[in-house]
Amino acid sequence: MKSKILFVDDEENVIHGLKRMLRTMRHEWDMGFAMSGQGALDILDSELYDVLVTDMRMPAMSGTQLLNEVMNRYPHMVRIVLSGNADQEMILKSVRSAHQYLSKPCSPEILKSTVARAHALRGVLADDSLKGLVSGIETLPSLPSLYVEIMEALQSPSSSLKEVGKIISKDIGMTVKILQMVNSAFFGLSRQVSDPFQAVNLLGVETIKSLVLSIQIFSQFDQETCPYFSLDRLWNHSMLTGAFAKLIAKEEDQEASMVWDSYTAGMLHDLGKLLLSTNSSQQYQSSLSVADNEARSIWEVEQEMFGTSHAEVGAYLTGLWGLRDSVVEAIAYHHRPERCVAREFAPLTAVHVADALAHEDRGNQPGETASCVNSNYLAQVGVTERLPVWRQRCTEFISRGEDD
């Protein structure tokens, strides 16, 4: 089936330019064009689309207003901003409602690949209602103590980039949103960034303040809503998995970008649990009870109850936000690495093993069984003999209390 893409821009020459530029895509995309926000909503009232690509500065209804309306009315849609460099303030206001950001002028190749990849990721989730749930999520829960800590640091005139980066790197929700922003085409970087410390340095304190203070992008986790779910325990496991994955990648002499991708993917590998627990609380509590009572893996029960697991949910969202493919891949397949077509060492390898070793070291959360290493996958990648070395290094890491 063709992908259905709706483009919105109030300038007639831009619309004509898009039509010419994308003429070669007419066999793959069913494209619609609107010259105003209201015009776009009128089209959507009578016809469903998969992806929205909108300008920001438009009369009557701004791109931000349109994105908010589309997010509320049609949460299944992928929402992409295509706007000029002068629109930084408006783009920051849209960070809740947009999945990706492209900067004008945008090459045909970047526009085509961004739209195609974002739409293709929808296939990761089989259930349409869950696609809507994930696409409509505005914020990710943060640890209350870290939320207070970051707010105090940002409000202090003496706060340093190093201090802010250190705080952000400790939290799943904060890290993923900061990486989303710094990797957007709006910032015009020649490479993708996976290191939260580097991201903070590139964005600067003022941009971070805009995100946290003005837009309030990071929400506090409401423990009363999910009393059965320990965010502290999830955070500890995620941080340990990230540290182990980084250590394993370094042990294999991987380049710095793969080391940081391994760390980031390890830190975010259970992101989907946050989304499911906070947005489908009762159903997720039931899934934990079933997993606990039947001594089954939580991802297997999630698959039965939601039609997907936390791995796919986390990968879907991070993919929409434009994180590097190797990070998304590691999150998506960390429980079932054999489903990935690649058969060489990658962040997926590091995260899959790190997740299992972290469970071995710290035990399991109620409702979960141990995460086991897939020996067939390791054999296919050709690293079976490295597992004892990795396990020993991780054990030494814990015993020394390293900050590697």
pLDDT for 50-66, tens place per residue? 999 999 989 999 999 99
Q: Alpha-carbon distance 75 to 342, whole Å?
A: 32
Of residues 181 and 371, the one with the higher pLDDT is: 181
Q: Alpha-carbon distance 183 to 196, whole Å?
A: 11
In whole numbers, what is the pLDDT of the chain averaged over residues? 83
Q: Does the pLDDT of residue 337 top 90, yes or no? A: yes
How long is the chain? Answer: 404
DSSP code, position 253: T
Decide if 137 contacts 168 (C-beta within 8 A). Answer: no
CA distances (Å), origin 28, targets 63, 79, 222: 26, 19, 43
Q: Rounded mean pLDDT of 144-152?
A: 71
Reported as a pLDDT band with limits 50, 70 and 90, residue 126 is low
Neighbours of 323 (CB within 10 A): 24
Please tell me the predicted confidence (pLDDT) of residue 401: 61
Please tell me the predicted confidence (pLDDT) of residue 118: 76
Partnered with residue 78 across adjacent β-strands are 51
Please tell me the predicted confidence (pLDDT) of residue 217: 42
Q: Alpha-carbon distance 80 to 67, whole Å?
A: 9
Neighbours of 203 (CB within 10 A): 20
Decide if 116 contacts 85 (C-beta within 8 A). Answer: no
Of residues 141 and 49, the one with the higher pLDDT is: 49
Q: Alpha-carbon distance 203 to 192, whole Å?
A: 13
Please tell me the predicted confidence (pLDDT) of residue 278: 78
Q: Does the pLDDT of residue 238 top 70, yes or no? A: yes
- Pull the structure tokens for residue 159: 């706060």
CA distances (Å), origin 207, targets 64, 189, 346, 347: 18, 16, 32, 29
Share of the chain above pLDDT 90, in %: 35
Q: Rounded mean pLDDT of 282-300?
A: 89
Amino acid identity for residue 67 in this structure:
L
Helices H / strands E in the chain, number of each: 21, 7
Give the helix, strand, coil percentages of the chain, each rounded to 5.
60, 10, 30
Q: b/e for 278-309, b at 16 or more Cβ within 10 A?
A: bbbbeebbebbebbbeeebbbbbbbbebbebb
Q: Does the pLDDT of residue 370 top 90, yes or no? A: no
Q: Which residues, 6+ apart, have CB-to-CB distance to 221 below 8 Å? A: 141, 142, 143, 144, 231, 274, 278
Q: Alpha-carbon distance 167 to 174, whole Å?
A: 9
Q: Rounded mean pLDDT of 369-377?
A: 80
Domains contained in the chain, CATH given = 3-124 (3.40.50.2300), 144-220 (no CATH), 231-400 (1.10.3210.10)
Share of the chain above pLDDT 70, in %: 84
Q: Rounded mean pLDDT of 142-163?
A: 73
Decide if 103 contacts 183 (C-beta within 8 A). Answer: no
Q: Alpha-carbon distance 347 to 356, whole Å?
A: 14
Please tell me the predicted confidence (pLDDT) of residue 306: 87
DSSP code, position 156: S
Q: Alpha-carbon distance 250 to 404, whole Å?
A: 10
97, 99, 104, 105 alpha-carbon torsion, rounded to 10°? -160
pTM of this structure: 0.76
Of residues 333 and 137, the one with the higher pLDDT is: 333
Burial class, 224, CB count within 10 angstroms (exposed 0-12 / middle 13-18 / buried 19+): exposed
Please tell me the predicted confidence (pLDDT) of residue 138: 66
Mutual orientation of helices 161-168 and 144-155 as an angle, nearest 10°?
170
**153-207 pLDDT, tens per residue?**
777 777 777 888 888 887 777 788 778 777 876 666 667 888 888 888 887 776 6
Reported as a pLDDT band with limits 50, 70 and 90, residue 367 is very low
